Amino acid sequence: MASFKEIISGGVPVLVDFSAEWCGPCKMMVPILEQVKKELGEKVKIVKIDVDKNQSLASTYHVQGVPTLMVFKQGKQVWRESGVRQASELVTILKS
């Protein structure tokens, strides 16, 4: 399995969704992220990280609340927001 560093270092933007099983707003992000993937297809990679199962990764990126969304381009974090975001906003960010 690829490491997180390998995943975020690819040629396409990577949208990382830090979430948790028990989080209501995180569940709301599922259809939104599916819509983003449908719209952008292979132009983006979407990765879901469970903060309870990956506490060290969540800690590394100072994730305080869930959902926290981050966009990485070639290994660098270029955008970050907490809370539910709309698909249109995410698509705009990923295209820029």
- Tell me the CATH number at 60: 3.40.30.10
Q: Could you tell me the residue range of the domain that residue 69 belongs to?
A: 4-95
What residues are annotated to the active site?
Answer: 23, 26
Could you tell me the pLDDT band of residue 96, with boundaries at 50, 70 and 90? confident
pLDDT at 10: 87
Does the pLDDT of residue 1 top 80, yes or no?
Answer: no
Tell me the whole-structure pTM to 2 decimals: 0.94
Mean pLDDT of 9-33: 96
**Which residues, 6+ apart, have CB-to-CB distance to 93 below 8 Å?**
71, 79
Helix, strand, coil tally for the chain in percent (to 5): 40, 25, 30
Does the pLDDT of residue 75 top 90, yes or no?
Answer: yes
Does the pLDDT of residue 2 top 90, yes or no?
Answer: no
The tally of domains found in the chain comes to 1
